[in-house]
Amino acid sequence: MKRIFTGLSPWHALVILIAINLLVALWIGNDYGQTWDEPSFYLYGERSYEAYTYGVAGKPLIPERHIYFLDLRYYGAIYAALAWKVVSMLRAILPSWGDMDVWHFVNFLFFQTALISLYFLAKRFVQDWTALFIVALFESQPLIFGHAFINPKDIPFMTFFLASITFGLYMVDCFASRKKESRPAQSDGSIAWPIAVLFGLFTFTYAGKDLIYLAVQWMISTIYNAPADSALGGVFTMLAGNSERLPVENYVHKASAAHLERLVLYGIAAVVVIRKIYSGYVRNRRWSPPFEIDLRVWAWVLVAGVVLGLAAAVRLLAPFAGILIAGYALREKGQAALPLLLFYFSIAAWAGVWAWPFLWDSPALNFLEAFKVMRDFPFIAEIRFMGQNVSSADLPWHYLPVLISIQLTEPLLVLALAGLLAAFLRKQTTGLSQNILLLVWFLLPVALQILLNSTVYDNFRQFLFILPPLLIFAGMAFEALLWRLRSVWLKIFLGVICLFPGAIGILLLHPVQYIYYNNLVGGVSGADGNYELDYWLTAYRLAAPFINANASQHANILAWGSGFNGAREDLDVYAYVEDADLEGSDISFEYAVISTRFSSHLDTLPDAPIVFEVKKAGALLAVVKRLSP
């Protein structure tokens, strides 16, 4: 099964698949509609990139411009900033595309990284060709394919999370398989522990510098305000001398700027290393390094740590990937893996702080603030679920399980369930640690959402990162079926059958593939009115050709809930929410584009006639109403 076609390896096939993806993206990338929150996110990317240039140049940030102009500061900025730069460079190559279209292309371009990461992760569980099938099954999910273009938040996070798991597992395996040290005195790792701890503490002096400052401030203030005849007062007199007292802030600043904690760590590290070198000389009567450096292990630690840190600079949930890797490492190597993990998490902290401008001035406190905000995310709205409007803060426990089961294709669901059962019911224990990691990766976020009743909205887009384990379990079942088929063509036919529902969904729903529902609820038409469909209002793009063809020059267009891309340059598009927003306006509007979400098209501007409808797979997504003759 190594090669199905002579001369073609699975890796070559993956490269071809990605090349085809990019060609397809160049063909259809400017078909997708603008989501309601994309403009603010892309502005965040522009300002964040500017913040990076300020940081590199050593210039202080302008808080009201780089940090506090949007509440998006609680999201990490690394993807938004780098993608903004790529978009700005691609504008010259794609001059006929609007900015939003180029952004969609870049989003899909970055999604290819997820496919590569999934391929190398899947290879740890199945053979190479099956890993390629897993990638194809993943990409052929209409839900994923649609989000890959229009979602600059959840798809990049899923990609970074997936890459963090992949690099982390390879890091642990490289560490576990390294040769034993040639010198017995070094095999006990006695130097690794103190160096790892010191490096972790050194990292904390930067990542926790605001906490250290608060501690120093408290200590200095306590001594400063102590009575002169007390022990603490005597300490202050000894340190400050008998000169006239300065404001307490001066002493706090001086003590903090000295960074005595780092000097202490430098000294301890020097003592540890010198002691190790000397003991080695006494034992072997020759000078030698205190430890041997395995460059392969350190390269994996560096890369895995940086990727985890960048993932955290996209969304706060990223440390969960590090916890999964830590669990796997401890199960495989026990306490011997602890120094490795200290270096791993320390490097991740460095990368995460560097990549998130919001953390530069106050890393720990701002991180905790972001965690609190995201934990209690202030989203108050109703969600359409199983035919009822439900508050996002009062979802039924089965919200996530139901949506996952009806928004993925049927072959994936059947194969994933079969693979999950096979992975844990068979007696073979090889790879059990990895299987447990996959299971925890998928189940724990779902279980916590159910137990904590955390806020979820827009279906389960925030949980897209938990889908890769399902794909890998599905691949295990698919491979088990392949072993029972002798004919290569039967194997290919089975693969095509599994990919067919998703491929058809992508074609029929273009360019709103993210509204996909499977036949368990009757497809998109069966979900219409019972579940959320076009919650991001991207179907407005499909109304643009009608408006462009019929609107007069320089006409004013209304768009309910959000603006839209694709309108003629001479048209002015105004977003609004309800009819009351229009009261007192002296602007004459020619058309209004209105979503059917929550039957808004019935209640909004009810007297205006509908002149155009946007439909997909039997579901009405939006209407155009004429407001003036």
Nearest to 82 by CA among 55, 44, 108: 44
Least trusted range by pLDDT, from 175-189, 290-304, 558-572, 613-627: 175-189
Q: Could you read off the pLDDT of 181-223 as tens digits, one per residue?
A: 434 444 445 677 778 888 888 888 888 877 877 777 777 777 7
Confidence (pLDDT) at 188: 45
Mean pLDDT of the residues in the chain:
88
Q: Is the dihedral of CA 261, 264, 270, 272 positive or negative?
A: negative
Nearest to 319 by CA among 376, 374, 357, 395: 374
Angle (CA) 7 8 14, round 5°:
160
Confidence (pLDDT) at 180: 46
Q: What is the mean pLDDT of residues 581-600?
A: 87
Least trusted range by pLDDT, from 16-25, 32-41, 117-126, 464-473: 32-41
Q: In this prediction, what percent of the chain has a pLDDT beyond 70?
A: 86
- Report pTM: 0.91
CB count in 10 Å sphere of residue 390: 14
Q: Decide: 140 and 503 in contact? Cβ < 8 Å.
A: yes
Confidence (pLDDT) at 181: 46
Q: Please give the Cα distance from 623 to 162 (Å, whole number).
A: 39
Q: Could you read off the pLDDT of 466-478 as tens digits, one per residue?
A: 999 999 999 999 9
50 contact partners, CB below 8 Å, separation of at least 6: 65, 66
157 contact partners, CB below 8 Å, separation of at least 6: 311, 314, 315, 317, 318, 464, 465
SS3 assignment, position 446: helix
